[in-house]
Structures are given as structure tokens and as C-alpha cells.
Amino acid sequence: MHQKPDADAMGSSLGLYNVLIALGHRVTVISPTNWADWLSWMPGAEKVLDYELNTPKSNELLAEADWIFCLDFNILYRTKKMAEPIAAAPGIRILIDHHQQPQREAFAYGISDTSKSSASEMVFDFIESAAMGSKINRDVAQCLYAGVMTDTGSFRFPSASASVHRMVAVLKDTGFDHSKVHENLFDNFLENRLRFLGHALLNRMEVIYEYNTALISIPWKDLVKYQIRTGDTEGLVNYPLTIEGIKFAALIIDRDEEIKCSFRSKGSFDVNQFARNYFEGGGHRNAAGGRSNETLDQTTQRFRASLIENALQLQ
Ligand code: 5GP
Ligand code: MN
């Protein structure tokens, strides 16, 4: 899965993990980095290795694996320090992903489908088409549900197709408690995170009506002051899109080791292309990310300048 996994990266991986375990395989899920606490309820999460904390063991497992499933990312560098050992591993690399422009040569087999809502939906399709549907138990269902629900913005994005809803019906038939999944993911934060959200929206958001754009930029000192943890900033980038007329939202965070950018759009503005052009990133048409080595001020200035170059699509 990609670094700093979200619910789809973790959910698709653990969904597949639980099926492969049921089939009697020896399976280890490795995350390139740590992950948000609110993902740790997923069945099997307690066994996931954090690559940064378990590097020698993870390298050993990668080197001896027959198959390496790569889920919810398109380019090996998305696995950060794991990219090299994955590329060097003698096992068969299999991609299951819905991001644009996959690095084809890095994988022996793969399913890359940008029309899919989530990697979790693709894992579901994979299991069903392999006639292993009977292995979809409650554990598998909860993991895949978490992934598809979050990647479709709680079933509101255009990607929430009829097939997605049919899949949810099949998952629900296992009897898992979907309300509990929503609670685990969305109602499990500390007070500080909500205070931080208020602060960010009040003091760090700039609305640029001329370009139907809003920018939230967060200095490192805010993350320290509010004791922001991995996963606490997830979702923040979506708020500006609730302003009437805003089509493009950016969140630029100084994470100290680097500047992390998140982009979201509504309608035709392609943030995947935007992230590729300006911020060494990528993703989907309406949700993408990137990074920068400059200072926060330099990055936000470059962002503002880039709006002028994209004026035709934004105005
Ligand atoms: P987020 O803003 O939530 O980090 O990412 C939004 C989407 O873009 C996710 O699907 C994520 O996997 C993808 N993404 C984020 N950062 C990058 C990046 O640096 N490169 C690429 N290729 N995709 C990214
Ligand atoms: Mn995904």
C-alpha cells in the first residue's frame, strides 16, 4: 500500500489479506510508514508491519515472497523507502489500483482501472471473479466497506456506481455493522484535532474567488501546537469545496521533512494533471497529491502563480 495509508489502502490490503489467510496462504501486510490510529480497528491491523519500524524483517519477507500485491498506488515511489526492495524482490509483483498512469514496467501482472471507485472495490471484483466469493466474511467485508465508503466520500462522488452499491449489498449480507465502521473512522478523534480544524478554517484559509479556488496552508508550528498526529489532517482539504462556486481546493502543509500538498476539485478541472505539472505528484482527476522541497511561502506563492496559468479552466 502507499505511504501514510488511508482507509482504502489499508482496507483493500487487509480485505485481500483476510481472504488469502482463509485460503491457507502465508501473508504479511506491510505499510511503508505508520498510519492513523483510526485505522487500527480493522481485522488484521494488529499484524501489519510498519516498514520504518521493522525494516530488516520486512526486507527479508519481501525478498522471499512468491507474490507481492501492490494495492492502491500506481508508482513505486509512493511506497517511499520500500520502493527499492520491492523493485529488487524476485517475487511476482501484481498491481491492483485505480490511479491514473500506472508504472506498467514495474509489475508482472496488474489491474489498473481509473473508473473504479477504490482499490477495495477492485479487490472485491478480484475475489468474486476468482470464484472465491464464499471467503468474503465479516472481517473482509468491514475492511472493503471502509475503503470504498471513504474513497467515494461516503458514496457521494460520481465513482459511487451501481456496482459499488451492489457490492455494498453483498458485503452487508455478511452481517457486519456499517454504523460502527463510520464511527470508528469519523468519531474517534481527540479534542485538539477539532480545535485545529477550527483554527485552520478561520486563520489559514484564503479564498481566491477570481479563480474559484481556496487554499489552506498550514505551518509546521500549527501541527506542533495542536499536537497533530498522522491522519488528523485528512478531510480538511474537502471543506473549501463546500463554499458555493469553489471548484478547486488545495491544502499545503509544512510537515517539516517536506511540504505535502493535497488537491481536490469538482467538475472538469484535472488535479491529477495539475499535481503532475507543478508538484511532482498525481492521483485522480478530482483528488490528487504532491510535494515540494521549497519553503511553505515559496510553495504557496508558486501555487498562486500556477492559478494564473490555469485561469482558462478555473474561471
Ligand atoms: P491525498 O491528498 O489524500 O494525500 O491524496 C489524494 C489522492 O492522490 C490519493 O488517491 C493519493 O493516493 C494520491 N496521491 C497523493 N500524493 C501523491 C503523489 O505524490 N503522487 C501520486 N502519484 N499520487 C498521489
Ligand atoms: Mn484508493
Pocket test for ligand 1, best of 31, 75, 99 (most atoms within 8 A of CB): 99
Please write the tens of the pLDDT for every residue from 118-175.
999 999 999 999 999 999 999 999 999 999 999 999 999 999 999 999 999 999 999 9
Whether ligand 1 lies within 6 angstroms of the CB of 5 is answered as: no
Q: Residue 288's beta-bridge partner residues?
A: 263, 283
**Residue whose C-alpha is closest to residue 272's, from 260, 261, 284:** 284
Whether ligand 1 lies within 6 angstroms of the CB of 147 is answered as: no
For residue 286, give the ligand nearest its CA: 1
Counting atoms of ligand 1 from 1, which one is nearest the CA of 151?
10
* Domain endpoint, select from 161, 186, 211: 186
Q: 159 and 205 share a domain?
A: no
Whether ligand 1 lies within 6 angstroms of the CB of 282 is answered as: yes
For residue 100, give the ligand nearest its CA: 1
Counting atoms of ligand 1 from 1, which one is nearest the CA of 288?
8
Please write the tens of the pLDDT for every residue from 175-206.
999 999 999 999 999 999 999 999 999 999 99
Q: Which CATH number is 286's domain given?
A: 3.10.310.30
Q: 109 and 40 share a domain?
A: yes
Tell me what the mean pLDDT of segment 298-313 comes to: 97
Q: 227 and 106 share a domain?
A: no
Q: 167 and 210 share a domain?
A: no
Count the domains in the chain.
Answer: 2
In whole angstroms, what is the distance from residue 252 CA to residue 237 CA?
A: 9
Whether ligand 1 lies within 6 angstroms of the CB of 103 is answered as: no
Assigned domain for 171 exists: yes
Q: What CA–CA distances, in Å, run from 145 to 70, 126, 175, 266? A: 19, 15, 12, 24
Return the pLDDT at 105.
97
Grid cell for residue 235: 478531510
Return the pLDDT at 216.
98
Q: 25 and 163 share a domain?
A: yes
Q: 50 and 149 share a domain?
A: yes
Pocket test for ligand 1, best of 1, 2, 261 (most atoms within 8 A of CB): 2
Domain holding 277, by residue range, is: 191-314
Give distance in angstroms: CA of 244 to centre of ligand 2: 27
pLDDT band of residue 25 (cuts 50, 70, 90) is very high
